[in-house]
Amino acid sequence: MEFTDGDTYLSSFDSKAYLTSFCCLGSERDGILKFRMRKLYETFGPGGITGDVLIDIGTGPTIYQLLSACESFPYIFASDFTDQNRQEFEKWLKNDPEAFDWSEIVKTVCEIEGKSSDKWEEKQDRLRSRIQKVLKCDVNKSNPLDPVEIPPADCLITSLCLETACKDLDAYYSAIRNITKLLRPGGHLVVIGALGNTYYRVQQKDFFCLSLREDTVINAITQAGYKVLSMDVFSISEREAHSNTADSMANFFLVAKKS
């Protein structure tokens, strides 16, 4: 399908509908979500990546990707291109009663981390206290956070962002180089993405996805000056593949270190 440009996202993307379709447990998305949450805990849990500053590139309206990281990073910057995504994230940040209900996701993360699910509110509050700013972001810019400048991060995380923001492989390679400027030498990059995905659907509207292969992702990361430390792939089940919300064949979870 044709590339979905920024103006279309700003005018047509329904953040709450996206959350309902892609971030609810008890649906065909369970396997994918739990894979990501387990890998995030393995990455940021005991003996994992630590530091001071973490930047989440393309946060979207979601919080799950930061729930384990907030135990290891005291200064977290969220960012997204789409205004309504940042607004939805801000609703959660301010504990707005109209915000999406993340309780089941947070309880599941607590259980993955070996804690009582009763601690879920404490976990949410900890993450809220770590969020420094919610910034505008465009990975296709040389400085994705322009005009804001912040100290080089110890870790970057980006989840299901680059393949939706980049119209072709040249743009994908360029976007990785752009976000890398925000990371200090020796810092870590964590990428969650989809393989073989050409679209995803929110409220009967299809949005473009750049179809990626495993070797393409590794090559792009390596060429941007990283050593790939690990790449785990989770194959989509038949049930998930026929969910009618996306045509992804697999999700991947990659960790790399900047030279």
**202 annotated binding-site participant:** no
**109 annotated binding-site participant:** no
Reported as type and span, the H/E element at residue 156 is strand 153-159
Residue 98 has a CB neighbour count (10 Å cut-off) of: 8
Backbone angles phi, psi at 150, to 5 degrees: -130, 160
**170 annotated binding-site participant:** no
Return d(Cα 157, Cα 176) in angstroms, integer.
12
Q: What are the strands, taking DSSP E only, across 137-248? A: 153-159, 183-195, 199-202, 205-208, 226-235
At how many degrees (to 10) do helices 15-22 and 83-93 cross?
A: 70
Surface-to-core class of residue 40, CB atoms within 10 Å of its CB (0-12 exposed, 13-18 middle, 19+ buried): buried
Structure tokens at 88: 């939805």
**172 annotated binding-site participant:** no
**85 annotated binding-site participant:** yes
**247 annotated binding-site participant:** no
- How far is residue 124 from each of residues 8, 54, 107, measured CA to CA in Å? 32, 17, 10
Annotated binding site for S-adenosyl-L-methionine: 18, 64, 80, 85, 138-139
Annotated binding site: 18, 64, 80, 85, 138-139
